[in-house]
Chain A
Amino acid sequence: MWLLDAIVDGIGEGILLLLRIGLFVAPVLILLEWARLTGRLDRTTHRLEPVCRHLGLAPELAPSLTVGAVLGVILGSGVVLETTREQPVPRDQVTLLFVFVGIFHAMFEETAAIFAFGGNGLIMVTTRFAFGLAAFWVYRRWLALRPAALGGPVLAPHPARHRS
């Protein structure tokens, strides 16, 4: 019965894999929660604001940048929603942010997971960061080449987005 064997093996390997991922990801998530609770993440954000301005990204998006790059796309997008509710940000700026964050996000969690399987986490993070920056730069140049873009459609504040 190779079919039954395959199913049993699949479940067994899957559970082993989950344990292995958990072993590597749990310490990372604990450290991240600690950084968030003690305000270390907030401080990093403050230091990033001038960098954002320098790179041509709206400084209001600095919190989304840190949360996205460190914690992941889902939480980063939540912070963007919070920011745009108080203060409209051009749509192109949000796209610019996600061009970078889409490539370089959840830097610790996903690296730990890949590391659990025997990949080189350091090479991975560096490559992702480099390609994220490159894509960011290309899209930024593209925006600069059509000056109308940044004065273009502005995200309207939409308070009804968070439904409880």
Chain B
Amino acid sequence: MARSLTPPAASRPGAGREGTHPLQAAVSRGLRSTLRILVDLARTMIPAMIVVMILDRSGWLARIAGLAAPAMAWFGLPGGTALALLIGNTVGLYSGIAAAIPLALDYKQWTILGTMLAISHAHPVEASIIARAGANTWTVLAARLLASAAAGALLNLVL
């Protein structure tokens, strides 16, 4: 199978193959997609950051943390990370990370939270993409949520 891996949206005919050196093309394309990701992130991450900062200063974050603490203890995370998980699972991975910044997590907690969020994040967006490809969204969603919880609990025991 000599199929090209470049999806139609990203491929410009001849780009990087004629004239320019592949490394040069890679640098320019890589930087361009980094910039695109950062602009994308700025749109969702900075609002998430502002919301969390407001919740933090007004004392609501502490209240939410108090309520969620027993559940989050399963994963060895402080209660405030419940908000990070919620934002991460609905809005996106990077917004979830942003929501955890004011909590001053340590190394182990960052690893656990990062793994959990990386396994399961941005469900509204990614589920629609997965459905468009023709897969059963509910199966994939259930697998990701279960794997996320199991990975959190396991890492808490192991680390």
Contact = CB atoms under 8 A, between A and B. Distances in A.
Chain A, interface size category, equals 35 or more
B71 interface: no
Contacts of A49: 1
Nearest to B51: A10
B45 interface: yes
A150 interface: no
Interface residues of B, number: 69
A119 B5 contact: no
Most chain A CB within 10 A, of B93, B119, B155, is at B119
Most chain B CB within 10 A, of A41, A77, A91, is at A77
Contacts of A26: 30-31, 34
Interface in B28-49: 29-31, 33-34, 37-38, 41-42, 45-46, 49
A25 B34 contact: yes
A97 B49 contact: no
Most chain B CB within 10 A, of A42, A92, A120, is at A120
A95 B10 contact: no
B79 to A, nearest CB: 19
Contacts of A118: 107, 110
A113 interface: yes
A47 interface: no
11 contacts: A7-B54, A10-B50, A14-B46, A30-B34, A80-B133, A92-B136, A94-B134, A99-B140, A119-B111, A124-B118, A162-B8
